[in-house]
Chain A
Amino acid sequence: MTTTDPTLGDRQGYAGLAGVPLSLTPLTRKEFTSDAEVRWCPGCGDYSILATFLGVMPDLGITRENTVIVSGIGCSSRFPYYVDSYGLHSIHGRAPAIASGLAITRPDLSVWVVTGDGDALSIGGNHLIHTIRRNINLTILLFNNRIYGLTKGQYSPTSEQGKVTKSTPLGSLDTPFNPLSLALGAEAGFVARAVDSDRAGLTEVLKAAANHRGTALVEILQNCPIFNDNAFDAVKGKAADEGVIPLRHGQPVVFAGGRLGVVRDPATGVLSVAEVAEVGLDNVLVHDAHRADPSIAYALTRLTDSGVLHRAPIGIFRDVTRPAYDDLARQQVATARGEGSDSDGLQRLVTGQETWSVG
Chain B
Amino acid sequence: MTKVTQLDRVVIRFAGDSGDGMQLAGDRFTSEAALFGNDIATLPNFPAEIRAPAGTLPGVSSFQLHFANFDISTPGDRPEVLVAMNPAALKANLRDVRKGGMLIVDTADFSPRALAKVGYSSDPLADGSLADYQVVALDLTAMTVEAVKEFGLGRKDAARTKNMFALGLLTWLYGRPTTGTEGFLSSKFASKPEIRDANVTAFRAGHAFGETTEVFAVRYEVSPAPMPAGRYRQINGNTAMAYGLMVGAQKAAMTLFLGTYPITPASDILHELSKHKRHGVLTYQAEDEIAAIGAALGASYGGNLGATSTSGPGLALKMETIGLAVMTELPLVIVDVQRAGPSTGMPTKTEQADLLQACFGRNGESPVPVLAPRSPADCFDTAIEACSIAVRYRTPVIVLSDGYVANGAEPWPVPDLSLIPSIDPDFDTEPNAVKESGEATHFPYRRDPETLARAWAIPGTPGLEHRLGGIEKNESGGISYEPENHDRMVRLRADKVAGIVRDIPDLEIDDPSGAARVLLLGWGSTYGPVRAAVRNLRGRGFSIAQAHLRHLNPFPANLGDVLRGYERVVVPEMNLGQLSMMLRARYLVDVRSYSRVRGLPISNEELTADVIALLAELSGPHPQQGEPLLEEKP
Contact = CB atoms under 8 A, between A and B. Distances in A.
Interface of A: 34-36, 63-66, 68, 70, 73, 80-81, 84-91, 94, 97-106, 108-109, 126-127, 130, 329-330, 332-333, 335-337, 339-341, 345-347, 349-352, 354-359
A99 B288 CA distance: 15
13 contacts: A65-B461, A65-B464, A87-B469, A101-B257, A105-B302, A130-B291, A337-B277, A347-B417, A350-B414, A354-B233, A356-B36, A358-B228, A359-B228
B294 A87 contact: no
B37 interface: yes
A97 B414 contact: no
Contacts of A340: 278
Interface of B: 31, 34-37, 180, 224, 227-235, 243, 246-247, 250, 255, 257, 259, 276-282, 284, 286-288, 290-292, 294-304, 306, 320-321, 323-324, 328, 414-418, 435, 459-471, 478-479
Given A87-B467, A127-B291, 9 more contacts: A86-B460, A87-B469, A90-B324, A94-B320, A100-B294, A106-B459, A108-B460, A130-B291, A358-B232
B30 to A, nearest CB: 11
B469 A355 contact: no
Given A65-B462, A65-B465, A104-B295, A91 B282 contact: no
Contacts of A357: 229-232
Nearest to A357: B231
Contacts of A68: 459
B469 A90 contact: yes
A63 B460 CA distance: 8
B243 A349 contact: yes
B462 A81 contact: no
Contact of A359 (B230, B277, B435, B460): B230
A345 B280 CA distance: 11
A66 B278 contact: no
A101 B467 contact: no
A354 B469 contact: no
A130 B468 CA distance: 25
A101 B324 contact: no
Contacts of A90: 294, 324, 469-470
A85 to B, nearest CB: 6
A103 B459 CA distance: 11
Contact of A89 (B230, B435, B471): B471
A55 B168 CA distance: 75
Contacts of B459: 65-66, 68, 86, 102, 106, 109
A108 B302 CA distance: 10
B475 to A, nearest CB: 15
A350 B280 contact: no
Nearest to A133: B287
A63 B462 CA distance: 8
B616 to A, nearest CB: 41
Contact of A352 (B233, B250, B282): B233
Contact of B229 (A66, A70, A89, A359): A359
A63 to B, nearest CB: 7
B467 A333 contact: no
A354 B232 CA distance: 9
Please provide the 3 A-B residue pairs with the shortest distance between their CB atoms, ordered closest to farther.
A359-B229, A89-B469, A101-B298
B284 A101 contact: yes
Contacts of A64: 462, 465
B290 A97 contact: yes
Contact of A94 (B224, B227, B321, B415): B321
Given A97-B294, A101-B259, A101-B296, A339 B414 contact: no
Given A64-B465, A68-B459, A91 B479 contact: no
Nearest to B286: A97
Contacts of A335: 277
Contacts of B233: 351-352, 354-356
A335 B278 CA distance: 8
B230 A65 contact: no
Nearest to B243: A350
Contacts of B323: 91
A333 to B, nearest CB: 5
A68 B295 CA distance: 15
A88 B291 contact: no
A337 B31 contact: no
